Amino acid sequence: MTSPNIKVATDQNFEKEVLANGQLALVDFWATWCAPCRALAPIIDEIADRYAGKIQVFKMDVDSNPETPGKFGIRGIPTVILFKGGKAVDQVVGAVPKDQIENLIRRAV
């Protein structure tokens, strides 16, 4: 992670940091071995910087935190899910262009 605007989500802090925080939260579910995840990482950094103060951006390593991805039915990575009011409201799967992720955000605000 290169952007200081990205937080780390874990199975232990997910409820408090993502679901109960009251702000829009974008979570990138990824793994270190995943090439498409590495391709998406700079886009997630840009989004975190561009929307700093408007949404919170998190990254969750699915290998280190298997419980939360299982709860949300994540079967492929990268998966980016947008949460609003503690609920998953939209998602994209795969190394998608930045405008697709920004569309998620625009639809939710």
Per-residue pLDDT tens digits for 20-51: 988 899 999 999 999 999 999 999 999 999 99
pLDDT of residue 2: 78
44: in domain: yes
27: in domain: yes
pLDDT of residue 109: 81
Whether residue 15 contacts residue 46, with contact meaning beta carbons closer than 8 Å, is answered with no
pLDDT of residue 22: 84
Among residues 6, 37, 60, 77, the one annotated as catalytic is 37
Distance CA 23, CA 95 (A): 25
pLDDT of residue 21: 84
1: in domain: no
Q: Are strands 79-84 and 6-8 parallel, antiparallel or unpaired?
A: unpaired
Of 89, 27, 87, nearest to 62 by C-alpha is 27
Count structural domains, the chain.
Answer: 1
Residue 1 has pLDDT above 60, yes or no: no
Whole-model pTM: value is 0.95
Q: What is the pLDDT of residues 50-85, one digit of tens each?
A: 999 999 999 999 999 999 999 999 999 999 999 999
pLDDT of residue 30: 98
Among residues 18, 26, 27, 34, the one annotated as catalytic is 34
CA distances (Å), origin 61, targets 22, 50, 88: 23, 23, 18
CATH number of the structural domain spanning residue 27: 3.40.30.10
Domain span at 76:
6-108
92: in domain: yes
Phi, psi of 45 (to 5 degrees): -60, -45
20: in domain: yes
Judge whether 34 counts as a catalytic residue.
yes
Phi, psi of 12 (to 5 degrees): -75, -35
